[in-house]
């Protein structure tokens, strides 16, 4: 009988964790910007969870606290990452369907993820837990081991920092796909005339190669520089890039492609009023392993 009760308890414990796994992975990814890191965090949380024997009234709150504390470890902080990263840093591309009911279920885009990088680990955690994941303030305070008033301040400061990075315009799926495909073709061909119509005057290009593959070392600002770069790329390449799939990348329209050298890359587009205001290109193969596995 005792063995049966223990087995039932183990089954319940496993079920409680699996019920939360997807949400915990999404939280860890939003905290770290790394899919591999998020998976490691959730695995560490599981190992801690199996060491708990009863006495947990809310598995959801308990597991959220474990994952949050693992993510704000100084070794995983944005500051530590920036000190060693080569070139422009972008979060691992979280790819989803372009259909609205199948897209990532929060409004954290690449733009907002970059804004979150400028926050302290505690500010980032407070903002994500309270504003994005709708965790009650009392539970956020417990997760961060802070008083509720202090957590309210952390979230407020973070909110002010990232306010301009929150989505202000929505793009209909059909328009997003049309603009994405038009941009891919124009960029592939170095079609300056079409690109001039697609790109905003103050467009920015962020390209993440991580020092492992060729990428723009710094952010490219302005349409004139962008047009020169795309025109030069169109002239130089002998094998054109290949479009694999139009997708959603962290809530932004984008695509997965194969570059002239045969390497995988993702491109996400910030679009406002049918104009591309930002281009986020991930070429670092370490950040594309999860996609490379899907493509094989």
Q: Is residue 116 part of a domain?
A: yes
Tokens of 102: 């199948």
d(CA 187, CA 101): 29
Residue 241 CB partners (closer than 8 Å, separation 6+): 184, 188, 257, 258, 259, 260
Q: Are residues 44 and 123 in the same domain?
A: no
Q: Are residues 125 and 219 in the same domain?
A: no
d(CA 214, CA 12): 49
User: Residue 60 — pLDDT band, cuts 50, 70, 90?
Assistant: very high
Q: Are residues 245 and 159 in the same domain?
A: no
Residue 103: predicted pLDDT: 40
Q: Is residue 97 part of a domain?
A: no
Q: Are residues 192 and 249 in the same domain?
A: yes
- Check whether 23 has a pLDDT greater than 80: yes
**Residue 56 near residue 17 (C-beta atoms within 8 A):** no
Least confident of 62-66, 147-151, 259-263: 259-263
Last residue of a domain, one of 135, 166, 197: 166
- Check whether 168 has a pLDDT greater than 90: no
Range of the domain at 145: 110-166
The continuous run of DSSP H or E covering 204 comes out as strand 199-208
137: CATH: 1.10.10
Q: Are residues 194 and 212 in the same domain?
A: yes
Residue 63 CB partners (closer than 8 Å, separation 6+): 17, 20, 24, 45, 49
- Structural domain total, the chain: 3
Q: Are residues 177 and 162 in the same domain?
A: no
Last residue of a domain, one of 146, 166, 186: 166
Q: Are residues 185 and 162 in the same domain?
A: no
Q: Are residues 160 and 201 in the same domain?
A: no
Q: Is residue 94 part of a domain?
A: no
Q: Is residue 183 part of a domain?
A: yes
pTM of the model: 0.89
Q: Is residue 82 part of a domain?
A: no
Q: Is residue 9 part of a domain?
A: yes
Give whichever of 68-82, 139-153, 161-175 has the largest mean pLDDT: 139-153
Q: Is residue 268 part of a domain?
A: yes
Q: Are residues 151 and 62 in the same domain?
A: no
- Check whether 100 has a pLDDT greater than 50: no
22: CATH: 1.10.1740
Q: Is residue 105 part of a domain?
A: no
Please state at what angle helix 137-144 crosses helix 148-162, rounded to 10 degrees.
100
Last residue of a domain, one of 76, 98, 127: 76
């Amino acid at each position: 009988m005792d063995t049966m009760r223990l087995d039932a308890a183990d089954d319940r414990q496993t079920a409680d964790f699996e019920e939360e796994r997807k949400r915990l992975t999404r939280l860890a990814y939003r905290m770290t910007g790394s899919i591999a890191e998020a998976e490691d965090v959730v695995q560490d949380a599981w190992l801690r969870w199996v060491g708990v024997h009863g006495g947990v009234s809310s598995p959801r709150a308990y597991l959220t606290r474990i994952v949050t504390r693992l993510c704000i470890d100084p070794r995983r902080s944005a500051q530590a990452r920036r000190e060693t990263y080569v070139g422009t840093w972008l979060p691992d591309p979280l790819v989803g369907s372009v259909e609205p009911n199948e897209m990532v279920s929060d409004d954290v885009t690449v733009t907002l993820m970059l804004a979150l990088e400028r926050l302290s680990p505690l500010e980032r955690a407070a903002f994500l837990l309270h504003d994005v994941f709708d965790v009650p303030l009392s539970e956020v305070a417990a997760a961060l081991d802070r008083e509720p008033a202090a957590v309210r301040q952390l979230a407020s400061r973070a909110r002010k920092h990232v306010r301009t990075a929150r989505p202000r315009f929505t793009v209909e799926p059909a328009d997003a796909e049309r603009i994405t495909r038009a941009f891919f073709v124009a960029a592939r061909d170095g079609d300056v005339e079409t690109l001039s119509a697609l790109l905003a005057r103050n467009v920015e290009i962020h390209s993440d190669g991580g020092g492992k593959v060729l990428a723009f070392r710094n952010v490219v600002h302005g349409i004139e520089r962008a047009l020169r770069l795309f025109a030069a790329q169109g002239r130089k390449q002998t094998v054109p890039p290949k479009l694999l799939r139009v997708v959603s990348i962290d809530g932004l329209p984008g695509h997965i492609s194969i570059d002239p050298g045969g390497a995988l890359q993702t491109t996400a587009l910030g679009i406002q009023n049918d104009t591309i205001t930002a281009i986020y290109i991930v070429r670092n193969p370490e950040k594309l392993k999860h996609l490379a596995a899907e493509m094989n």
